[in-house]
Amino acid sequence: MKTMKTFAARALVATVLLSLAACSGMSKRDESTAIGAGIGAVGGAVLTGGSAVGTVGGAAVGGVIGHEVGKDKK
């Protein structure tokens, strides 16, 4: 079980580092969506004990929230 948690943590770090490099040409709204999805995925995984459904659900909710927060204010 400890090996699986270590692997998951390393995979998460690698994903975050790679996704940061991909954000260079994104708009502010796109960046907010991606960041929200990442934070939501981590939150969903933590709250559900690593459940895939919780992780995907958290990413979806976080992405929607990030998308709305990243709107231009007029």
Q: Read off the pLDDT of residues 24-73 as tens digits, 9 standing for 90 and up.
A: 788 888 888 888 998 999 898 888 888 889 889 999 999 999 999 887 76
Whole-angstrom CA distances from 4 to 12, 16, 37, 62, 73 are: 12, 18, 23, 25, 43
- pLDDT at position 57, please? 92
Question: What does the block give as tokens for 20?
Answer: 């940061």
Cα torsion 48, 39, 53, 57: sign: positive
- Per-residue pLDDT at 74: 58
Confidence of residue 21 (pLDDT cuts 50, 70, 90): confident
* Mean pLDDT of all residues in 7-13: 82
Q: Tell me which of 36 and 6 has the higher pLDDT.
A: 36
